[in-house]
Amino acid sequence: MSASTETETSPSDRSHRPPFWRDVRIIRIALQVGFLLAVGALLFWLFDNLTVNLRVLGIRRDFGFLDQPTGVPILGSDFRAQSPIRDALLVGLYNILRVAVPGILTALVIGTLVGVGRLSTNWLVRRAAGIYVEVLRNVPPLVMLIFFYIAVLQQLPAQADSITAGPFALLNVRGVYLPSIQLSAGPAPVFFGVLGLALVAAIVLGVLRTRRFDATGQPHRRVPLGVLLFLGIATLGWLALGRPLGLELPVIAGRGVDGGYRMIPEQAAVFIALVLYTSSFIAEIVRGSIQAVAKGQTEASSALGLSGFQRLRFVVLPQALRIATPSAGNEFLNLTKNVSLGVFVAYPELLRIGRQAVGNGFPAPQLLFIVSAGYLALSLAISLVTNLANRRLQLAER
């Protein structure tokens, strides 16, 4: 009863100090020490059990096994079985990013299109986008993943009867083949220099046009002009250097496929399932954020005489972006964590590699610790970036 009323007693008032067992400051410290002791005891008990168990079972307790050979190759990479486990785990980490980074970008694009589509005046577009969202976000991602892997990608025709999309893409039971960017070794670095130069020139042009606009009020058209300048310089450089950058198309050659970028079916399944699932959530975020921008904003910008595109570009979207950032970041985080579902279709991401090593007799506690630490580090990195972006956007408010 009295603890709350005594919080208001002034600490300097020494003559009226209560006895120590009723002094709030001492109670607080005692409570915290007790809590710390309890948590510490629990952790110590768990860790002690671990060491005892490992000793009893004769399992090593250090991380020295990381230098031993893995013993198995890794699907879809030129990793050799003799390489140490350390490297295999790094490949696993790389494979997470190989799905997560393009997955996030694709899901963002699709999600934005679908989210805007849900607000379209076109009945068909609105309905189609609505069905897309309601169907995809209510089915577990693992069901989608297994569906695409077993019922779609594994039922594709064999190499000889590949499904082709013109000369650009190949689709068969061994994977999805897309065009890749081919760099010729010699002039490529020079070409990147030229690209940098073009970018600088475009920015300078943009700044100059903006100044002119500020001074004279004539339309600046900085974006189309800048893009034109950039493309012009880049094309000239590309021709002058003898086409250092080109698309390499996948071609069936004998029993394999030459050139292009190959996605093994496992990777393609994880990628497709996660993009579909996450994009449905992003679509809802985009729709919600646009609707959350106060109606008066749109009305005010109409009153100022802005066109529909200008209203969206200069008034609604900048504010919607600010509302959407935290939730969208959360979805990016979920997508990255969900790459771990790849373990169910044997996509060699970090968990699958660790799980395989456990199966080959390497100690489970250490390996699971490394896998957890890997995923945790990725999660924390993404939420850090999101928080920074969020803070920047929020500060821009005033």
Partner 1 sequence: MTTTDPATKTSDQVATPPSGGPTGMVWVRENLFPDVWNSLLTLTLGPLLAWGVYALGRFLFVTGRWEIITVNLTTLMVGRFPRDQLFRLWIAIAILAVVIGLAIGVANSVARAAAIESGDDYHRPWHEPIRRFGPPVTLLIVMGVFVRTATPLLLLAAAVALAAVAYRLGRMIPIRRRGQVNLAVILGVICAQLAITGFDGVPRSVWGGLLLTLYFTVGALLFAFPLGVAVALGRRSSLPVVRGTCMVYIEFFRGMPLVVLLFTGWLVLPFFLPPQFPTPDIVTRAMIILVLFTSAYVAEIVRGGLQGLPRGQREAAQALGLSPWKQTRLIILPQALRSVIPALVGQAISLFKDTTLVLAVGLTELLQVARIIPGQEDFRGQGLFAETLIFVSLIYWVGSYWMSRESQRLEAKLGVGER
Whole-angstrom distance, CA of residue 282 vs CA of residue 84: 40
Stretch that binds partner 1, among 49-57, 72-80, 157-165, 212-220 (CB under 8 A): 49-57
Query: With binding defined as CB under 8 A, does residue 63 bind partner 1?
Result: no
CB neighbours (10 Å) of residue 72? 15
Whole-angstrom distance, CA of residue 232 vs CA of residue 197: 12
DSSP state of 11: T
3-state class (DSSP) for residue 116? helix
Backbone torsions φ then ψ of 363, nearest 5 degrees: -65, 130
Task: Work out which of 10, 11, 21, 46 binds partner 1, going by CB under 8 A.
Answer: 46
Q: Residues 345, 349, 353, CA angle at the centre, nearest 5°? A: 90
Residues of span 67-86 touching partner 1 by CB under 8 A: none
Stretch that binds partner 1, among 13-21, 104-112, 260-268, 337-345 (CB under 8 A): 337-345
Stretch that binds partner 1, among 183-191, 248-256, 267-275, 378-386 (CB under 8 A): 378-386
Q: What does each C-alpha distance from 300 to 12, 133, 198, 303, 320 come to in angstroms?
A: 57, 31, 39, 5, 16
Nearest approach, Cβ of 59 to partner 1 (angstroms)? 9
Q: Is residue 132 a contact partner of residue 276, using CB atoms and an 8 Å limit?
A: no
Task: Work out which of 316, 324, 328, 357 binds partner 1, going by CB under 8 A.
Answer: 316
Query: With binding defined as CB under 8 A, does residue 36 bind partner 1?
Result: yes
Query: With binding defined as CB under 8 A, does residue 376 bind partner 1?
Result: yes
| 41 vs 380, beta carbon nearer partner 1 | 380
| 211 vs 313, beta carbon nearer partner 1 | 313
Whole-angstrom distance, CA of residue 9 vs CA of residue 25: 11
Q: State how beta strands 261-263 and 256-258 pair.
A: unpaired
Task: Work out which of 276, 283, 351, 357 binds partner 1, going by CB under 8 A.
Answer: 351
3-state class (DSSP) for residue 140? coil
Residues of span 144-163 touching partner 1 by CB under 8 A: 144, 146-147, 150-151, 155
| 231 vs 376, beta carbon nearer partner 1 | 376
Nearest approach, Cβ of 334 to partner 1 (angstroms)? 9
Query: With binding defined as CB under 8 A, does residue 365 bind partner 1?
Result: yes
